[in-house]
């Protein structure tokens, strides 16, 4: 059997064991789809990024959860480029080919990685508050009370999420999600997961506090979610949540209720950009089962 280098990078944090852990395989050109899925299952993280060569961009990436491939993953992208920065990648702009198209990635001098996401798409969700409240295990009145101006809606900047505002931080923290019901709900509204949030944040400089549940993608609760952060930024802009005073930068808290606190930075302008830093906490090698040559995928 061959061995391959694998890493765990904690994204959206400067501290080890905070934020969202991502698997990163920096040289994945010779891996088949089956091998990538097997590695992601063995890593047992919400997503693992497999970096490959590309004919049309500086790099190609594919993302796998322990159970399936997903088209885009924010924290695994941040983690991948935090690792590349550690390996000598210079500050500036680079391009990344994904299943949703080619994206621009910017790396600041301080190591912050910015991911320009796909064009926003926002639509109100044809689903009742009672059903969403039951699925999330929250009080229906708390959902309705937070939604006078910003309704339940599905938002995407690459992956779709049902965005659900709620009144207080205690409502977010006390949620008792029914994963089976959430999976059925997200299937019915054609979304990857549900992002529950409140403007009642823990830290003064934070814009909001969120939790994200995506059991249908094999991720019951994600600590800090880059794609959902971009989606909620687009959602808030679409519904005019801040009237004519939209912040230059949103700061989204997440992960505290699974003991992995982190923060995503979001800038909404001509495009939606999600930023954060990362720290490598594991760098090693893994045995890879052999695969038939005709199953090896082209980059």
- CA 279 to chain CA centroid, Å, is 17
Same domain, 156 and 251: yes
User: Residues near 232 by Cβ (< 8 Å), separated by ≥ 6?
Assistant: 155, 161, 163, 195, 197, 208, 210, 252, 266
CATH of residue 248 = 3.10.310.10
CB atoms within 10 A of CB 130: 11
Q: Is residue 152 part of a domain?
A: yes
Indicate if 183 belongs to the active site: no
Q: Is residue 297 part of a domain?
A: no
Q: Is residue 298 part of a domain?
A: no
Same domain, 204 and 225: yes
Same domain, 128 and 246: yes
Same domain, 241 and 283: no
Q: Residue 157: which domain range?
A: 121-270
Same domain, 138 and 266: yes
Domains identified in the chain, total number = 2
- Cβ–Cβ under 8 Å, residues 125 and 155: no
Q: Is residue 134 part of a domain?
A: yes
Q: Is the pTM of this model over 0.85?
A: yes
Same domain, 228 and 188: yes
Active-site residue, from 15, 27, 42, 47 = 47
Per-residue tens of pLDDT for the chain, all 299 residues: 789 999 999 999 999 999 999 999 999 999 999 999 999 999 999 999 999 999 999 999 999 999 999 999 999 999 999 999 999 999 999 999 999 999 999 999 999 999 999 999 999 999 999 999 999 999 999 999 998 789 999 999 999 999 999 999 999 999 999 999 999 999 999 999 999 999 999 999 999 999 999 999 888 999 999 999 999 999 999 999 998 899 999 999 999 999 999 999 999 999 999 999 999 999 999 999 787 544 444 43
């Amino acid at each position: 059997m061959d061995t391959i280098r694998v890493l765990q990078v904690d994204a959206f944090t400067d501290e080890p064991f905070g934020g969202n852990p991502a698997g990163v395989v920096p040289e994945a050109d010779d891996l088949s789809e089956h091998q990538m899925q097997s590695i992601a299952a063995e890593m047992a993280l919400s997503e693992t990024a497999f970096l490959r060569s590309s004919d049309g961009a500086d790099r190609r990436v594919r993302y796998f959860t322990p159970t399936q491939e997903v088209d885009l993953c924010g924290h695994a992208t941040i983690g991948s480029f935090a690792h590349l920065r550690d390996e000598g990648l210079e500050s500036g702009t680079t391009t990344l080919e994904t299943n949703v198209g080619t994206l621009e990635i910017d790396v600041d001098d301080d190591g912050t990685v910015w991911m320009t996401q796909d064009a926003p798409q926002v639509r109100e969700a044809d689903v009742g508050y009672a059903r969403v409240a039951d699925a999330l295990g929250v009080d229906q009145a708390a959902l309705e009370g937070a939604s006078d101006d910003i309704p339940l809606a599905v938002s995407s900047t690459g992956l779709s999420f049902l965005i659900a505002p709620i009144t207080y931080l205690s409502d977010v923290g006390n949620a008792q999600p029914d994963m089976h019901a959430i999976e059925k709900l997200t299937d019915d509204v054609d979304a990857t997961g549900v992002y529950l949030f409140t403007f009642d944040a823990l830290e003064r400089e934070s814009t909001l506090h969120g939790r994200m549940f995506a059991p249908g993608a094999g991720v019951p609760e994600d600590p800090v979610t880059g794609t959902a952060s971009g989606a909620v930024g687009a959602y808030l802009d679409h519904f005019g949540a801040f009237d004519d005073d939209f912040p230059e930068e949103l700061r989204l808290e997440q992960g505290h209720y699974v003991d992995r606190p982190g923060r995503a930075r979001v800038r909404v302008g001509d495009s939606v950009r999600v930023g954060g830093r990362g720290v490598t906490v594991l760098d090693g090698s893994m045995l890879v089962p052999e695969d038939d040559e005709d199953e090896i995928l082209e980059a």
